[in-house]
Amino acid sequence: MSLLDDLNAYAKLHFTHVFSAEVFGSYKPSPKVYLGAVERLGLRPGDCAMVAAHLDDLKAAKSHGLQTVYVERPGEESWAPEDVKKAKGEGWVDLWVDHSGNRGFVTVAEKFGAGAPSEAF
């Protein structure tokens, strides 16, 4: 957890909440991880979204009621290309950000109506 806190502080990411599976004494895909974060935020699963570059993580999050945002990152996904294509077509990923013509997580923020801080760029 201290590594994530350091990353948040020194990279000036300005996250208000940082969670790790370590905090919940379990690992993904355990519901303790996903629902523990939701509970700590005082929200319902459907009011939260898991943002990830791994479809396994998102599939588990979706099974626990969270919304899902997939950000493609070349070389990150362990699924075979045909399985990725199938997942995209099935529609259980709520927002799919591909790697062509976007700026990754900045694009996610923009699609949710949040502007990126100008000093970050």
Per residue in 40-89, pLDDT (tens digit) is 999 999 999 998 889 999 999 999 999 999 988 888 899 999 999 999 99
Residue type, 107: T
Alpha-carbon distance of 12 to 22, in angstroms, equals 23
Alpha-carbon distance of 80 to 111, in angstroms, equals 27
Residue 60, Cβ density class (10 Å: 0-12 exposed, 13-18 middle, ≥19 buried) = buried
- In this prediction the pTM is 0.78
Q: Which residue is listed with tokens 């997939």?
A: 70
Determine the pLDDT at residue 116: 58
Domains in the chain, start-ordered, CATH in brackets?
A: 2-116 (3.40.50.1000)
Q: Which residue is listed with tokens 């990725």?
A: 84
- For the cut 90, the answer to whether the pLDDT of residue 105 exceeds it is no
